[in-house]
């Protein structure tokens, strides 16, 4: 700090240096969720960055994640920083080479010991800083970050000084108005610190005697009081932040590059849109030497040893189509911004002979064009200006010179595609609060903070409760933390990774159970085969819980609110996305042949990810607003008769008959089996309930447009082709498979 101040020649420069230094010296911790990339860009002398940016708030990740635009505007007037966000998702089956490819892109050596990336984990624990303005990624450690930014500041100080002098600058600190009592109490002398800490500890002890069940919470708050009385939040800094002059220019520009290694597990792809707010780039990694028609063998390694392996039930093409659905689903959450870019990276190039490589690439491009074009033509990142080829190839595990050159060209492509991307204006005080919350959580050794603790930190920085709440909503929208005020208003998850790890543990456990040689029974059997869990069962996964704040009880409350869980009975919860997809011949057994079937047609290329499972969770929940929650049909042994990821059979209590709900991944089907006299009533009830569930699912996940169109299953579909919907247009039913129109219906589907 002293060295930076020595370079300043004006009060304004000192203020800027202090603010820059504080922000740069309090970076995010080494999350496994987020790979932070920070770089300084040139100051915009042309005034292009202004409060007019408020008109583009719909371009955030996601839209409208704050509830009071007025508070946001007021905070913006007190100074802001500009975040250039890039969120990159890596897709591909396990073993395709995502982790090694990422190492190649970063210019570091690949791991020497094979260790499969745990399900839905983030392998990045580094910070990137671009200090020379070039479009390349430079890795920096946390201790190198302040010096790197200080170097940039010194190089730009003369121009900043002229800008400051031309604008007049704010008054010097000794000319500012006195601090409030709150700010004066924020910086005690070192002698006062220990006594204040003792007083805080005494208060904590007294409080814990009144509420013995919250002893850990009180102890944490005692440590928090000590932190707040430390010099980390001092009077001078609070004064600098709060006295930042109104400016149309950002005080600082940062770039954050968030890298997410998602894997290709369908169960996790179903849940991903529930937690993620969108993405700017998708990178799909596949093996060059494997045909898209092949079913990959999933091998899971730990510390270089093969733990288990199993054949994937989807072909490589099936996994690709599933990931493409996820890409399209995440794009749907941000309809006002351009869709995310897509890159395809083929690994294991050394497995293909040089003379065969052109033919293999031609075949791969042909298949990919059939899947992706013309819908995704504008989203693809091409290898050349002709926009012919879009598959990049490299050996990620053993990169040679050619592979390193390919990695460099990929970095250039990703940087180029990110120009003019998602710029987010963040109020300076909010960003400083966020950094301080990270510091407090790190010092307390916590990944989740009580909401009232966040407010205490805000008060120490002279930020009121309302503004603090808006800040938490804002950063939740950027996936920089998780905050669910409508479900768990008392908790703030400072490290989003912990929630993703919890759901990952459940998915990983099902894989282990299905591949295990020992049989399972009882509660574990119901979990493996039917996706049922209890609080006691969830308690066996001890990692990431932080009692008494975050326990299995809070996890259940959260996942119920997010429609990931459905409450089947007292302390029994159902997780639809854990179920396995069954073959078409099994689905066919539960369709009602010869009867009318309702098809739910999604005009925009099919249903979005997570919609089916979330709708099922809604239908089974006691909170269902329609008469009686649905129930899964049981056989004579008391086990579910039909409970699979893509087909389920239900009953509606007090109504005669069963309802089968089928997910074809292109459309949904609804089949009824009941007495003819009861059909009309049951059709209407089932239709209304499913549409209510779809509406609730879309709102919960954050989709802006996922409303289906009522249709019928086309009765003229050519056998043995799979069913497809027929939609009415001007009173005439037609479908995309049959060019001839169907007979005009005189009665609606729901009245006979």
Entry pTM: 0.74
pLDDT at position 583: 86
Signed CA dihedral, 429, 160, 152, 102: sign only: positive
Cα 320 to Cα 314: distance, rounded to the nearest angstrom: 9
Give Cβ neighbours of residue 632 (< 8 Å, ≥ 6 apart).
568, 574, 620, 640, 641, 643, 648, 649, 650
pLDDT in the model for residue 734: 63
What was the pLDDT predicted at 565? 94
Q: Which of 64-68, 410-414, 457-461 shows the lowest mean pLDDT across its residues? A: 64-68
Tell me how far apart the alpha carbons of residues 41 and 432 are, in angstroms, rounded to a whole number: 20
Q: If you count them, how many residues does the chain have?
A: 752
418: phi then psi, degrees, rounded to nearest 5: -90, -5
Contacts of 31 (CB under 8 A, 6+ apart): 122, 125, 495, 496, 497
Per-domain residue ranges for the chain?
88-123+258-422, 190-228, 497-577, 592-751
Give the pLDDT confidence score for residue 729 in this predicted structure. Answer: 59
pLDDT, tens digit, 9 for 90 and up, residues 466-493: 999 999 999 988 888 899 999 999 999 9
In the block, tokens 């990624």 appear at 137
Give the residue-averaged pLDDT of 498-502: 79
- Given CA atoms 46, 51, 54, 59 in this order, what sign does their dihedral have? positive
- pLDDT > 50? residue 733: yes
Enumerate residues 6+ apart whose C-beta is below 8 A from 137.
37, 105, 106, 107, 128, 130, 257, 411, 415
Backbone angles phi, psi at 59, to 5 degrees: -95, 15
Looking at residue 390, its pLDDT comes to: 92
More confident residue, 582 or 725: 582
Name the nearest CA neighbour of 92 among 389, 344, 397. 344
Over residues 404-424, the mean pLDDT reads 71
User: Among 156-170, 199-213, 447-461, 563-577, where is mean pLDDT lowest?
Assistant: 199-213
**Cα–Cα distance measured from residue 169 to residue 11, given in angstroms and rounded to the nearest whole number:** 8
Question: What is the overall mean pLDDT for the chain?
Answer: 71
Mean pLDDT over 143-163 rounds to 44
Determine the average pLDDT of the residues in 639-659. 90
What band does 645 get if pLDDT is binned at 50, 70 and 90? very high
d(CA 341, CA 231) in angstroms, rounded, equals 44
- Per residue in 228-267, pLDDT (tens digit) is 544 344 455 566 556 656 667 766 666 666 677 766 677 7
Six token digits for residue 53: 């940016």
pLDDT, residue 46, reads: 32
Superfamily of domain 88-123+258-422: P-loop containing nucleotide triphosphate hydrolases (3.40.50.300)
What does each C-alpha distance from 656 to 23, 676, 751 come to in angstroms? 64, 10, 17
Residue 495's contacts (CB-CB under 8 Å, 6 or more residues apart) are: 29, 31, 33, 441, 447, 448, 481
The dihedral sign for the CA sequence 95, 97, 102, 108? positive
- Please give the residue that has the higher pLDDT: either 131 or 148: 148
Write the pLDDT tens digit of every residue in 599-625: 888 887 688 899 999 999 999 988 776
Q: How far apart are CA 307 and CA 595, in angstroms?
A: 48
Q: Identify the bridge partners of residue 493 per DSSP, sorted by sequence position.
A: 448, 482
State the pLDDT confidence band at 116, using cuts at 50, 70 and 90.
low
CB under 8 Å to 558, separation ≥6 — which residues?
Answer: 484, 487, 488, 499
Q: What are the structure tokens assigned to 284, written together?
A: 């799909």
Judge whether residue 124 has pLDDT over 50. Answer: no
Is-same-fold flag (88-123+258-422; 497-577)?
A: no
pLDDT value at position 471?
A: 95
Top-level class of domain 497-577: mainly alpha
- Alpha helices by DSSP H, listed for 373-427, are 401-417
Structure tokens at 683: 């059709």
Is residue 644 within 8 A of residue 586, CB to CB? The reply is: yes
């Amino acid at each position: 700090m002293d060295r930076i101040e020595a370079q300043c020649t004006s009060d304004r420069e000192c203020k800027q240096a202090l603010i820059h230094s504080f922000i740069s010296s309090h970076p995010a911790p080494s999350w496994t969720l987020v790979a932070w990339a920070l770089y300084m860009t040139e100051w915009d002398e042309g005034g292009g960055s202004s409060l007019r940016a408020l008109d583009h708030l719909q371009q955030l990740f996601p839209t409208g994640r704050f509830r009071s635009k007025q508070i946001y505007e007021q905070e913006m007037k007190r100074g802001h920083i500009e975040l250039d966000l890039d969120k990159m998702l890596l897709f591909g089956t396990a073993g395709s080479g995502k982790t090694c490819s990422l190492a190649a892109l970063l210019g570091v050596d690949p791991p020497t010991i094979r260790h499969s990336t745990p399900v839905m984990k983030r392998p990045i624990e580094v910070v990137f800083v671009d200090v020379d303005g070039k479009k390349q990624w430079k890795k920096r450690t946390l201790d190198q970050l302040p010096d790197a930014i200080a170097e940039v500041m010194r190089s730009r100080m003369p121009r900043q000084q002229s800008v400051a002098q031309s604008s007049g600058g704010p008054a010097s600190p000794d000319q500012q108005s006195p601090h409030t009592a709150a700010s004066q109490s924020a910086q005690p002398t070192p002698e006062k610190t220990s006594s204040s800490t003792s007083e805080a500890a005494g208060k904590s002890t007294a409080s814990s005697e009144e509420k013995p069940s919250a002893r850990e919470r009180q102890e944490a708050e005692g440590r928090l009081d000590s932190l707040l009385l430390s010099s980390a939040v001092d009077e001078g800094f609070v004064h600098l932040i709060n006295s930042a002059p109104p400016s149309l220019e950002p005080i600082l520009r940062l770039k954050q590059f968030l890298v997410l290694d998602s894997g290709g597990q369908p169960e996790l792809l179903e849940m991903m849109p529930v937690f993620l707010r969108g993405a700017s780039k998708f990178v799909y990694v596949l093996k060059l030497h494997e045909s898209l028609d092949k079913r990959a063998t999933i091998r899971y390694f730990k510390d270089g040893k093969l733990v288990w392996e199993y054949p994937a039930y989807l072909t490589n093409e099936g996994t690709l189509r599933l990931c493409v659905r996820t890409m399209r689903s995440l794009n749907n959450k941000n309809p006002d911004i351009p869709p995310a870019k897509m890159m395809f990276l083929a690994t294991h190039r050394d497995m293909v002979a040089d003379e065969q490589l052109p033919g293999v690439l031609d075949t791969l491009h042909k298949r990919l064009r059939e899947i992706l074009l013309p819908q995704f033509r504008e989203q693809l990142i091409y290898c050349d200006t002709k926009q012919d080829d879009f598959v990049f190839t490299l050996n990620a595990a053993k990169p040679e010179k050619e592979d390193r050159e390919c990695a460099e060209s990929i970095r250039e492509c990703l940087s180029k595609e990110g120009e003019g991307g998602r710029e987010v204006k963040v109020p300076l005080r909010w960003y400083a609060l966020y950094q301080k919350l990270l510091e407090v959580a790190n010092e307390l050794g916590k990944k989740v903070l009580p909401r009232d603790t966040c407010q205490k930190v805000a008060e120490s920085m002279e930020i009121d409760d309302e503004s603090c709440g808006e800040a938490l909503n804002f950063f939740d929208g950027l996936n920089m933390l998780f905050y669910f005020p409508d479900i768990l208003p008392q908790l703030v998850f400072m490290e989003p990774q912990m929630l993703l790890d919890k759901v990952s543990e459940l998915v990983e456990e099902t894989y282990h159970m299905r591949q295990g040689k020992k049989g399972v029974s009882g509660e574990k059997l119901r979990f493996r085969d039917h996706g049922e869990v209890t609080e006691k069962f969830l308690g066996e996964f001890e990692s990431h819980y932080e009692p008494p704040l975050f326990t299995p009880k809070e996890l259940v409350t959260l996942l119920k609110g997010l429609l990931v869980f459905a409450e089947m009975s007292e302390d029994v919860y159902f997780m639809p996305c854990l179920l396995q997809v069954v073959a078409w011949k099994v689905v066919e057994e539960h369709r009602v042949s010869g009867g009318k079937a309702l098809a739910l047609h999604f005009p925009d290329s099919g249903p979005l990810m997570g919609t089916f499972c979330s709708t099922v969770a809604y239908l089974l929940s006691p909170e269902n607003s329609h008469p009686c929650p649905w129930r899964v049909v049981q056989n004579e042994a008391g086990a579910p008769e039909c409970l699979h990821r893509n087909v389920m059979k239900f009953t509606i209590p007090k109504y005669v008959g069963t309802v089968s709900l089928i997910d074809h991944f292109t459309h949904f089907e609804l089949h009824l089996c009941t007495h003819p006299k009861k059909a009309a009533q049951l059709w209407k009830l089932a239709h209304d309930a499913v549409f209510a569930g779809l509406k609730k699912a879309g709102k919960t996940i954050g989709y802006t447009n996922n409303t289906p169109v009522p249709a019928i299953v086309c009765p003229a579909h050519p056998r043995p082709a799979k069913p497809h919907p027929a939609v009415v247009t001007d009173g005439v039913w037609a479908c995309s498979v049959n060019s001839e129109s169907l007979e005009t219906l005189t009665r609606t589907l729901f009245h006979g």
